[in-house]
Amino acid sequence: MSRYTGPRLRIVRRLGDLPGLTRKSARKAYPPGQHGQSRRKRSEYAIRLEEKQKLRFNYGITEKQLVRYVRKARKAAGSTGQILLEFLEMRLDNTIFRLGMAGTIPAARQLVNHGHITVNDRVVDVASYQCRAGDVIKVRDRDRSRKLVETNMEYPGLANLPSHLEFDKAALSGKVNGLIEREWVALQVNELLVAEYYSRIV
């Protein structure tokens, strides 16, 4: 399954607020489609599927990537759901978004893919790069790169900087101080239901 590139507000109407996908908010409070306003009792499977889809669309990853993260989270010690969220939050594209260098995660991914970002003074063009404690993330020392990020910073996606990050606006430089804490995850999601969804599939 490929990465979603369709209308974003349609997804927001179906799944609720997705801060990483878009800054826009839907005017209609019910899901899209002919039967969007009809009241139907959702099955447990449908609820788990919806939580899983929130992760996919918010972080802009494919189903194959998400399955890979779930398998990796299962092998680690601790809660599978919590570790899965940590993996997704510590991706380079999401870290740039949380630093305020881009308004959305797709915009942050574009910055990375086009070579505008350095990690520890080396250009990294892989959006899925896992940031670690001590990593220094900077905008590449080029006029075009700096102008792009400065323009993005005028309209940040989220106002609050998570506790595990620090950012120097003048130098356009951020630092990762550790793993993100659960309370700082901006997406409203039940990660336990996601782990339950994949327990039957993966």
* C-beta atoms surrounding 178 within 10 Å: 12
Same domain for 95 and 78: no
Task: Tell me 93's DSSP state.
Answer: H
Q: For residue 159, what are its two tokens?
A: 């106002």
Same domain for 135 and 97: yes
Q: Stretch 35-40: mean pLDDT, rounded?
A: 58
Q: Does the residue 1 lie in any domain?
A: no
Model confidence pLDDT, tens digit, residues 87-142: 999 999 999 999 999 999 999 999 999 999 999 999 999 999 999 999 999 999 99
Q: Answer yes or no: are the C-beta atoms of 127 and 106 closer than 8 Å.
A: no
Q: Does the residue 121 lie in any domain?
A: yes
**pLDDT for res 38:** 58
Name every residue whose Cβ is closer than 8 Å to that of residue 184 and which is 6 or more positions away in sequence. Answer: 160, 162, 163, 164
Q: Stretch 36-63: mean pLDDT, rounded?
A: 85
Same domain for 164 and 108: yes
**pLDDT for res 126:** 95
Q: Answer yes or no: are the C-beta atoms of 65 and 90 closer than 8 Å.
A: no
Q: Does the residue 110 lie in any domain?
A: yes
pTM higher than 0.85 for the full model? yes
As for how many domains the chain has, the answer is 2
